[in-house]
Amino acid sequence: MDSQRADQMFDVPLPEAPTDASSDTYETRRDHILRSATLVFAQHGYEKASMRAIAKAADMSLAGLYHYFDRKEQLLFVMQFRVFSSLLASLQERLVGVEEPRDRLCTMIRAHITYFAEHMAELKVCSHELDSLEGETYEQAREIRLAYYTLTREIIAMIIKENPPEYPLDIHVATMSLFGTLNWLYRWWNPTGPTSPKAIATQITNQFLAGICAPAASHAH
Amino acid sequence: MDSQRADQMFDVPLPEAPTDASSDTYETRRDHILRSATLVFAQHGYEKASMRAIAKAADMSLAGLYHYFDRKEQLLFVMQFRVFSSLLASLQERLVGVEEPRDRLCTMIRAHITYFAEHMAELKVCSHELDSLEGETYEQAREIRLAYYTLTREIIAMIIKENPPEYPLDIHVATMSLFGTLNWLYRWWNPTGPTSPKAIATQITNQFLAGICAPAASHAH
DNA sequence: GTTTATATCGAACGAACGTTCGAACGGGAT
DNA sequence: ATCCCGTTCGAACGTTCGTTCGATATAAAC
């Protein structure tokens, strides 16, 4: 399931798949629009972002925008699908050859934060507008998010299996704790600010690893 | 700075502060509307929630709703201000007499999660609609959130001072990691589901404490 | 009984929204 | 020269939005 298939699934009402020479400029134009829309979504939120504002950001007319995307929802869906797909693909790629579970977690966190640093607006929208899609498009976005979750959960499960903590630890809760920390980043962290992506990734990894492998720090009664 | 003052600050355009006997039913009615609005905000998001839907949820007419709240924004502001105020007040109250820093953190996390479990819709809206206010109302909500953040940060700073970890640890990053975990709860956790509030609080506390006090779990390179 | 203030509501206003329509433009093929 | 087709856009459609207005009902105050 790649982004190509998802786009076409959504593009059924379009006349035909653009071919050869024209395809180049067509896809380029789509990418440009998508990037503009993402910036507007990130700044004002999906609901408040108007198609007119998106058209203006993409430097084209309102009706011209509709030539490339049938509905506003399609802009959000295609964007989310591409981001989640490339996030997942990039992670799987980086995990190749990394066997040690703790190294795999380190890789996952670093990959996620690196991606975030390079696509701030995209990840902000993906974190904040999870429920803005409905019906079929929501389910499709959900599926690929689930794959990302499952992959991360399995890494965490392996770490715990090799190094069980001394207090009862629910793996789902642990996984969602990590995602909470990561997905909240868009609220406060500026990758170009004083705290570098590498520093953030290192500290979050250290904290999380120590948190789920703790020898006997149990304190809650 | 209590919620009463905030309401009145916002109520300036209203004829007069309601007095004595009538005040009872007036404030009761306001509370009822606020609770209805919160549910609609939580279900559809602030932007998509219409005043007509809120009026229907409160079982009154659209124009009747405007008798109690001048603008839609006021509904969100008063709600957020009350929630943040009572969250902060409840935390300060519970911290009285708790001296040991680790006990204070444990108290903070338990208080936050307990409050969440009892006011799910409220905390969902407060977590998700942080940027939906603008101008003066945004600044006021921000101020009280800052007080909550500062209180938590000081607890964490004290723990770290007493038990410094062996890797460099930025206190702001650590604090925001915890808030990320807590504020993300509304996305996936159901307090009435299989994982009890107490169990969640215990695990998050254990993980976080172990994470910031780790002896030598450093792993990121 | 009249006045005054609060509470409630149906109806409407003006603006903004997502979306559609029909016409124009431009270049490659016939 | 003609046709075709992808592209672009101004203008509009119908709907929904937040908000306001004017009228009515109620009940306490004089």
Closest nt by CA–C1' to A23 = D6
Residue B134 lies in a domain: yes
Tell me the pLDDT tens digit for each residue of B152-168. Answer: 999 999 999 988 888 88
Q: Is residue B48 part of a domain?
A: yes
End-to-end CA distance of chain A: 46
Interface test with B, best of A72, A132, A219 (most B CBs within 10 A): A219
pLDDT in tens, B83-138: 999 999 999 999 999 999 999 999 999 999 999 999 999 999 999 999 999 999 99
Mark which residues 133-192 of B lie under 8 Å from A by CB: 165, 167-170, 172-174, 176-177, 179-185, 187-189
Which CATH number goes with the domain that contains A117?
Answer: 1.10.357.10
| Count of domains forming chain A | 1
Residue B133 within any structural domain of the chain: yes
Using a CB–CB cutoff of 8 Å, tell me whether B16 touches chain A.
no
Percent of chain B predicted with pLDDT > 90: 80
- Answer positive or negative: Cα dihedral of A86, A195, A207, B182: negative
Short-list A119, A41, A30, CA closest to A76: A41
Q: Nearest CA to the C1' of C19 belongs to which residue?
A: A71
Q: Contacts of strand D, CB cut-off 7 Å?
A: A 15-16, 18, 22, 25-26, 29, 60-64, 67-68; B 49-53, 62-63, 66, 70-73
In a domain, A220, yes or no: no
Chain B CB contacts of A102 below 8 Å: 219
CA of A63 to C1' of D13 (A): 14
Q: Which nucleotide is nearest to B63 (CA to C1')?
A: C9
pLDDT of residue A213: 84
Q: Tell me which chain B residue has its CA closest to the CA of residue A180.
A: B181
Q: How far apart are CA A115 and CA A91, in angstroms?
A: 10
Nearest Cα neighbor of A200 from B220, B182, B211 is B220
Q: Residue B218: inside a domain, yes or no?
A: no
Q: Is residue B138 part of a domain?
A: yes
Q: Which nucleotides of D are covered by protein (CB under 7 A)?
A: 6-12, 16-22
Asked if the model's pLDDT at residue A215 lies above 80, the reply is no
Q: What CA–CA distances, in Å, run from B111 to A44, A58, A101, A117, B159?
A: 32, 47, 34, 33, 18
The model's pLDDT over B3-30, given as tens digits with 9 standing for 90+, comes to: 334 444 443 333 334 444 445 688 899 9
As a whole number of angstroms, the distance between CA B214 and CA A117 comes to 27
List the single residue in B with minimal CA-CA distance to A105. B220
Please report the pLDDT score of residue B165 as a whole number.
83
Q: What pLDDT sits at residue B99?
A: 93
C-beta of residue B35 within 8 angstroms of C-beta of residue B26: no
What is the predicted pLDDT for the residue at B218?
42
Could you read off the pLDDT of A58-67 as tens digits, one per residue? 999 999 999 9
- Within a domain: B84: yes
> A26 or B64: whose pLDDT is higher?
B64
Q: Is A221 inside a domain boundary?
A: no
Whether B53 and chain A come into contact, CB under 8 Å, resolves to no
Task: Name the residue with the least CA to C1' distance from nucleotide D19.
Answer: B71
Say if the Cβ atoms of A206 and B220 lie within 8 Å: yes
Per the CB < 8 A criterion, the answer to whether B92 and B104 are in contact is no
For chain A, give the mean pLDDT.
Answer: 87
Residues sharing a CB contact under 8 Å with residue B142, sequence separation 6 or more, in sequence order? none
Of the candidates A137, A1, A134, A143, the residue with the CA atom closest to the CA atom of residue A77: A137
Domain that holds residue B99: 3-213
A221 close contact with B: CB closer than 8 A: yes
Residues of A with CB below 8 A from B155's CB?
none
